[in-house]
A and B are shown apart, each in its own frame.
Chain A
Amino acid sequence: MASQSAKLDAETLWGGKESPFQTSYGKLMMWFFLVSDALTFSGLLIAYGFTRHDTLEAWPIGEETFNSLPILGHGYPLIYVALMTFILIVSSVTMVLAVEAGHRMDKKGVVKWMIATIIGGFFFLGSQAWEWSHFIHGSEFGKVELADGSQAIVKGHFGEIESFTVTEAGTHHKKGDVIKEDLMHTFQHAAEKGHINNGIIELHDGSKASIKKAKDDHLKLIIKKDGKSYTVGKEIEGKKAEDLYYSAIYSGEENRVIYGANLNKNEYGPQQYGQFFFFITGFHGFHVFSGVLINILILIGVMRGVYHKRGHYEMVEKTGLYWHFVDLVWVFVFTFFYLI
């Protein structure tokens, strides 16, 4: 903004009265804090790049991993993340408008734009919560280890599981019982544990049941780790894909399929992929969260007229710097984590 035009001479400068940057102490320190925080985020992203290039297993591709929207389902590559980016950019714009209003001592304007910024921040946090939940729960197919030792992710439409019919009684279910509840969860849990053998599922209580399931559509396997017969990048479709997939799921062996993600393993790619996802987006999300809190505190100050009495709205400018920084980091996370 308009800076002081008076020339600095060495005497007043070294006298300690004037600041060579002609900026207040608080703003300067905010900039230095942001530089150090930027170094932290850069370190994380560079570590991500390093790991990615070092990993022999194929790294997940953004548009394959993040292609879902709430309600609408699959098939929308990157749209959701783009929406999150847009929300954050817009909330950055409303923040800069609040700062501009502050420079005109327009208290009403500052309040209006800061409220808009805070709402944008909550929207972003909500979106991130949805994305995390989606990432943790994973797809309906999971990542599967094929008979030759290769690993594949699966695309297509999962045929609904209709029911389990008990064929061998356990401690809880009797023979002939038809189970219609919690099917998907039970199925995935059993598949991970290797409790499905030749289409017969073993339930928690030790009973065994047959599975009634609709057919899958457009099943496609994409190999992500080399095996004896298949190499990374190979795509298998049709009947062959179905046979390979179900011979693994129904093999009765443990750990042939992984659903979703946690810190130890994930269905999308190498172990480090999940760890970096949680750490980088989590660390950024924590920044957004604290940014929203700081914005709320400053908003209360604005409404009480604290800064108006002071004669300037520099506190709004300083919290604005932090908020823009959060947006700035997301721009880089968006590129290096999702796009490339």
Chain B
Amino acid sequence: MERDDLIEYSLNGHHSDDEGKLIRKKIWKVTILLTAITILEVALGAYIKQSSGAWPFVKWSFVALTLLKAGYIVMVFMHLGDEKKWLRNVVLIPYALFIMYLIFIALWEALAVGDAWMGA
């Protein structure tokens, strides 16, 4: 039986040519930004050795830059930034909770395993 009470949300995704122009402009901006970040990362990786004193700083900037890149991909390319607030939360909150827990438990466990191997 054909249902007539379902709402076709997909039809709400349409936009006009003018809106399209603005969206495309934003896409190219983000592209340039992502490329620039990648080039910066490679330059840092190639010129600063892991033995150098600046390495811990470089390492954490890699993590920060990666999260920034990921943010742009998810929010702009995947349009999560344009979805309903709670769709965004339903995707991000459970994921963030699980991963923070997993990182915490892995670090904690790594200490114990490291001690055991060192014979301490």
**B70 adjacent to A331 (CB under 8 Å):** yes
CB pair A1–B13 under 8 Å, yes or no, is yes
Does A328 count as interface, using CB distance less than 8 angstroms?
A: yes
Most chain B CB within a 10 A radius of its CB, from A50, A56, A77, A321: A50
Q: Roughly how many angstroms separate A188 CA and B37 CA in the complex, as a whole number?
A: 41
Contact residues of A between 55 and 76, Cβ < 8 Å to B: 56, 61-63
Say yes or no for B46: interface residue by CB 8 A criterion.
yes
- For B, the interface residue count at a CB cutoff of 8 angstroms equals 62
Answer yes or no: A233 CB below 8 A from chain B CBs.
Answer: yes
In the assembled complex, the Cα of A101 lies from the Cα of B8 at a distance in Å of 19
In the complex, chain A residues whose CB is within 8 Å of the CB of B41: 82, 334-335, 339
| B9 and A46 contacting across the interface, CB-CB below 8 Å | no
B5 to chain A, nearest CB (A): 6
Whole-angstrom distance between the alpha carbons of A96 and B59 in the complex? 30
Residues of B within 8 A of A214 (CB): none
Contact B45 A339, beta carbon cutoff 8 Å: yes
List residues of A whose CB falls within 8 A of some B CB.
Answer: 1-4, 17-24, 27-28, 31-32, 34-35, 38-39, 42-43, 46-47, 49-50, 53-54, 56, 61-63, 77-79, 82, 85-86, 89-90, 92-93, 95-97, 99-101, 103-105, 233, 311-312, 314, 317, 320-321, 324-325, 327-328, 331-332, 334-335, 338-340
Q: Residues on B close to A: CB < 8 A?
A: 5-17, 19-20, 23-24, 27-28, 31, 34-35, 38-39, 41-42, 45-46, 50-51, 59, 62-63, 65-66, 69-70, 73-74, 76-79, 82-84, 86-87, 90-91, 94-95, 98-99, 102-103, 106, 109-110, 113-114, 117
